[in-house]
Chains A and B, each alone.
Chain A
Amino acid sequence: MPFDPIERKSCISGVGQSDVGRRLYRDPLELTGDAALAAIADAGLTPADIDGIATYPGPMDQPPGFSGGGLVEVQDMLRLNLGWYSGGIEQASQLGPVINACLAVASGLATHVLCFRTVFEGSAQGEKGRSSVMPGGGGGVPRAAGFMQWNLPFAAPSAAIWIALFAQRHFDEFGTTPEQLGQIAVNARKNAALNPKAIYTDPMSLDDYLESRVISSPLRLYDCDVPCDGSTAMIVSHVDTAPDLRKPPVRVEAVATALRGRPSWDQFDDLTTMACRDAGEQLWDRTDLKPTDVQLAEMYDGFSFITMAWLEAMKFCGRGESGPFVEGGGNIARDGLLPLNTQGGQLSAGRLHGFGFLHEACTQLWHEGGDRQVPGEPEVGVACAGGGPLAGSFLLTRSR
Chain B
Amino acid sequence: MSDTPFRILPKVNDRTRHFWEGGREGKLQFLRCPHDGTYVHPPTPFCPVCYRKDLAVEAVSGRGRVATFTVNHQPWMPGPELPYVVAIIEIDEDPTVRLTTNIVGCDPDDVKIGMPVKVTFEQHDDEVWLPLFEPATTREG
Contact = CB atoms under 8 A, between A and B. Distances in A.
A137 interface: yes
B100 A156 contact: yes
A136 interface: yes
Contacts of B130: 153-154
Interface in A98-152: 130-131, 134-137, 141-145, 147, 149-152
A271 interface: yes
A160 B9 contact: no
A145 B86 CA distance: 19
A131 B77 CA distance: 6
Contact of B10 (A143, A157, A168, A219): A143
Contact of A153 (B8, B71, B84): B8
A72 B127 CA distance: 42
A73 interface: no
Nearest to B109: A217
Contacts of A150: 42, 99-100
A213 B8 contact: no
A216 interface: yes
A214 B77 contact: no
Interface string B3-23: 001111111000010000000
Interface string A148-179: 01111111111011001111110010000000
A168 B71 CA distance: 10
A217 B70 contact: yes
B71 A217 contact: yes
A215 B77 contact: no
Nearest to B69: A168
A216 B73 contact: yes
A267 interface: yes
Contacts of A134: 76-77
A143 B11 contact: yes
Interface of B: 5-11, 16, 41-42, 67-80, 84, 86-88, 96, 98-102, 113, 128, 130, 132
